[in-house]
Amino acid sequence: MLIYRIYVGNSLRNYNYVIACDKTKDAAIIDPLDVNACIDIANKNNLNITKILNTHEHWDHIEGNDEVVKLTGAKIYAHYNCKDKIDNIYKTLKEGDIINIGESIQITCLDTPGHTFGHICFLANYKNKMALFSGDTLFNAGAGNCYSGDMELLYKSFTDKLAHLCDDVLIYPGHDYLENNLNFTLSIEPNNTEAKKLLEKIKQEKPNNRVITSLFIEKQINSFFRLNSEEIKRNLVEKFKTKFENLSKEQVFFKLRELRNKW
């Protein structure tokens, strides 16, 4: 599996992805925004763009759809709840649907609502190596907002779906928010040594060569996976000036997301 990560460089810090079968050179673009960059990569590597995979319906993840279709004839795949929000969908997707790219890449669709009600994460499997294209559900060291969705559904997407994937799954999010998210982690869990080490490391990086984390790493640095942390719980109680004890995992998640909204 060939994965090309494109940092758009806009104010939203989007990532686009081109993934390709190394045997057939058939390829898909995930959430096209910088169409020129995506097509340029395809041309330079003799790739045949056959599919567009949209994680969800927000404009910065679908803006390039029409132009890519015009240039390549690619078919658009998106969540079934996006059928009235994304134009010209070729196939609507649900939990467990399989998408094949060429001969070697099999993608499993994970229904991960919360950021929106029509969000799909794409789990690509190639020779026992797995990559998760997580859109705006899971960011490096963070979680998506719920302004267009539902916080309880996002919590369930994390705890019922993402947390149960293999630890060696590589994470490819829709935006580069890693530095800011690590600072958020340390604001609520200041003794997180792994977050401190990674924050120091990425100061030498630029977004287009950003470290690629695994789910194992995310469970160490991402507060939205660390819902049992006693340090996080103590700081939440202090920040919200509450007296509640024995915080549930769901309450911890909600309070973390509430804090992150203002970060």
Give the active site residue among 31, 34, 111, 115. Answer: 115
pLDDT per residue over 133-181, tens digit each? 999 999 999 999 999 999 999 999 999 999 999 999 999 999 999 999 9
pLDDT per residue over 238-259, tens digit each? 888 766 567 899 999 999 999 9
75, 66 Cβ separation under 8 angstroms? no
* Model pLDDT, residue 244: 56
Based on the residue annotation, tell me whether 79 is a catalytic residue of this protein: no
Q: Is the pTM of this model over 0.85?
A: yes
Residue 127 corresponds to which tokens in the numbers above? 């020779």
Give the active site residue among 26, 31, 34, 58. Answer: 58
Based on the residue annotation, tell me whether 136 is a catalytic residue of this protein: yes
For 56: left if phi > 0, alpha if psi spans -120 to 50, otherwise beta; the answer is beta
Beta carbons within 8 Å of 61's beta carbon, 6+ residues apart: 14, 31, 33, 54, 55, 135, 136, 174
Residue 165 corresponds to which tokens in the numbers above? 């994937």
Question: What's the number of CA atoms in the CB half-sphere (13 Å) around residue 10?
Answer: 12
Give the active site residue among 31, 60, 111, 176. Answer: 60
